[in-house]
Structure 1
Amino acid sequence: MEGVELRDVTFVNGSVRLAGSLVVPQRAGSACPGVVLVGGSGPTDRDNGTFFPPLRRHLVDAGIAVLSYDKRGVGESSGDWRAATLTDLATDAVAALGFLRSQPEVRSGTVGLFGHSEGGWVVLRAATAREDMPWVITNSCPGTSPAVQERYALARHLREIRMDSQCDIDRTLDLYDGLIEAGRRDADFATAVQLVEDAGRPPGLAFYWGDVDDRLWGFLKRKQDHDPTGDLLGLRCPHLAFFGSEDRLVPVADSLRVFGASVCHAARPRRATLTVEVLPGADHRLQLPNATEPAPGYLDKLTRWIRRN
């Protein structure tokens, strides 16, 4: 970003040291608003692969300071995300929020949270922990539990790879359901592996199971039945939710129903408005097919909404 300094920073959440990147627009005479970017599932770093850099550039050009960070146990951050819960990750996001708000160039009361995919669950939980949250943005965040979302993604994947028969698809999904039930019983990893072996490692399961090890199995068990409804009802600030109509990982229609029902619930504070943007043809990262940049209009909608709030 020409003329703008990207600074490496560190901050702490208890015993965890988190490392990230901070960019502050060059504005004369006034403090600027800010946003913390929280990445998705797995070992996501401060760039969330290639997703955050164009987002960061656009936000900074619009006069908004941006902080993103390596998830605990990734890059230069200490700790281990696989040993954490979504609540632990939410406290990391709250620590990042506090750090960005403490910067002299930033107007503290205007700093909000942006979470992509799993990061959406994280920032919703973080937002409910703060009375002074001005706004929160979720990007491709499921309104369902992780178990339901993963089953949707696996079923869609199995259909797209054109497996030999519906029987093979059903067999793979039955095994997935068995693994979820094993997780609910707090079965150890060896038991889960035995379930997979006994089922003959049905085709297509690697989409879900390919990189699961003992530590990741523990994380998946803790996360699988997380219900975002409680956090949606607990919001006390405006919420912007982005979805791509062609998201292969998230049940968009089901998520919209949950988000809509939550905002109409009598328990949700009136200030917690909901704005939904579904981008036609866009995928999980809000990109069109074969594109490397966000879908047209996405970034402008994002910055306009932040300015309004």
Structure 2
Amino acid sequence: MTTAGVTSAGVAMAGVPRVDSALGGVVMVGGSGPSDRHNDTYFPPIRRHLVDAGLAVLSYDKRGVGGSSGEWRDATLDDLAADAVAALGFLRAQPGVRPEAVGLFGHSEGGWVVLRAATTARDSPAWVITNSCPGVTPAAQERHALSRALRERQPARPDVDVDGSLALFDRLVEAGRRDADFTEATRLVESTGRAVSLGDYWAGVDERLWEFLKRKQDHDPVPDTLRLRCPHLAIFGGADPLVPVAESIRRFGTAACRPGRHPRATLTTEVFPGADHRLHTAHGTRPAPGHLTCLTRWIRGRAAGLPLP
């Protein structure tokens, strides 16, 4: 099988499809930045596990990465969601795959993408899995990550002004909301003293990336969860330094209790103690015990007619 037929608004998507007389299927969507079909090295072992469990899997290069055309920095989250919908339709159309048993898996930023894709697809996916996906806006998530990183490094860097750094971040967010250009944003960052640090947040930001960050910074995933018409599994690492896990669970859970929610839109949350953003433990060297088994059991339990292993 090739992915030559996967197109989204004129963008040709390239990826890794795996079909072996599968009854159900999974479309995997990578995280932020120039994520390819492998999401660095994170997706291959998950793909193998899903295929071994009898599921077809399709993961693809983000637009402008690897073999895919287009440019992700010129896109919106709606554009990225449209790409996921196109991949969903392609996998559903493959021989041997039951179209009603195909769902979406999104890691980190990819979780926001698949939640939006699940609500915009003409035919709802069978389910949606968000893996280390914040239940807050990108701006709130980045602020949380910055605050945690600065406070953890403070013993070694007592010269860094944590409060001043967070205040600078807040000013950048406000600049984005009034559509400040990259020159103004750069001037704002450079006007601060050496005691102020944005850590990894500002590293590598150029004009194109600044425009992308502005477009997505206030995206709220909760309205998409309210519109879901399928089950949702939200997975988190208990020691994730990038995601406000407790607040994300609270927001997803509050949405799940709202009146009028679709009867199929159940919510399951799983938190793996000690696991990081990629659901690894032991300082990132080992997958969290039970993570992959959790994925396949939950998927197979919700794909009609697929028995539990």
> TM (normalized to structure 1)?
0.94
Deviation at 1:167, TM superposition (A): 6.9
Matched with 1:17 is 12
1:271 lines up with 2:264 in the alignment: yes
Decide which of 149, 159, 170 is 2:151's aligned counterpart.
Answer: 159
Deviation at 1:90, TM superposition (A): 0.2
Decide which of 32, 49, 53 is 1:41's aligned counterpart.
Answer: 32
Alpha-carbon distance in 2 for matches of 1:304, 1:247 = 23
Deviation at 1:110, TM superposition (A): 0.4
Matched with 1:98 is 89
Decide which of 274, 296, 299 is 2:292's aligned counterpart.
Answer: 299
Identity %: 64
Q: Structure 1 residues 236, 166: CA separation in 2 closer, same or farther (over 3 Å shift)?
A: farther
Q: Is the 8 A contact 2:24 2:97 kept in 1?
A: yes
1:135 lines up with 2:116 in the alignment: no
Counterpart AA for 2:93: S
Alpha-carbon distance in 1 for matches of 2:142, 2:92 = 35
Alpha-carbon distance in 2 for matches of 1:218, 1:95 = 25
Alpha-carbon distance in 2 for matches of 1:145, 1:179 = 15
Q: Deviations over 1:37-74 (max 9, x none)?
A: 00000000000011100000100000001000000010
Q: Is the 8 A contact 1:243 1:279 kept in 2?
A: yes
Alpha-carbon distance in 1 for matches of 2:281, 2:257 = 31
* Count of residue pairs brought into register by the alignment: 299
Deviation at 1:292, TM superposition (A): 3.6
Q: Deviations over 1:166-215 (max 9, x none)?
A: 97001111110010000000000000000011113545313100110000
1:121 lines up with 2:112 in the alignment: yes
Q: Is the 8 A contact 2:276 2:284 kept in 1?
A: no
Alpha-carbon distance in 2 for matches of 1:24, 1:220 = 36
Alpha-carbon distance in 1 for matches of 2:166, 2:9 = 40
Q: Give the alignment's Cα RMSD to 1 decimal.
A: 1.4
Secondary structure of 1:100's aligned partner: helix
Alpha-carbon distance in 2 for matches of 1:204, 1:32 = 50
Alpha-carbon distance in 1 for matches of 2:159, 2:195 = 13
Q: Structure 1 residues 256, 166: CA separation in 2 closer, same or farther (over 3 Å shift)?
A: farther
Q: Deviations over 1:211-269 (max 9, x none)?
A: 10000000000000001111010001000010000000000000010010000001321
Secondary structure of 1:260's aligned partner: helix
1:145-224 maps to which residues of 2 (within 5 A)? 145-162=137-154, 164-165=157-158, 168-200=161-193, 202-224=195-217
Q: Is the 8 A contact 2:17 2:58 kept in 1?
A: yes
Matched with 2:73 is 82
Secondary structure of 1:247's aligned partner: coil
Deviation at 1:307, TM superposition (A): 0.6
Matched with 1:262 is 255
Deviation at 1:36, TM superposition (A): 0.2
Q: Deviations over 1:74-121 (max 9, x none)?
A: 011010110011011000000000010111121111000000000000
Q: Is the 8 A contact 2:160 2:196 kept in 1?
A: no
Q: Is the 8 A contact 2:281 2:287 kept in 1?
A: yes
Alpha-carbon distance in 1 for matches of 2:40, 2:103 = 22
Secondary structure of 2:23's aligned partner: coil
Unaligned runs of 5+ in 2: 303-309
Matched with 1:4 is none
Counterpart AA for 1:231: D
Alpha-carbon distance in 2 for matches of 1:8, 1:160 = 46
Q: Structure 1 residues 239, 268: CA separation in 2 closer, same or farther (over 3 Å shift)?
A: same
Alpha-carbon distance in 1 for matches of 2:284, 2:191 = 41
1:47-86 maps to which residues of 2 (within 5 A)? 47-86=38-77
Counterpart AA for 1:154: L
Alpha-carbon distance in 2 for matches of 1:132, 1:47 = 25
Q: Is the 8 A contact 2:150 2:199 kept in 1?
A: no
Counterpart AA for 2:102: V
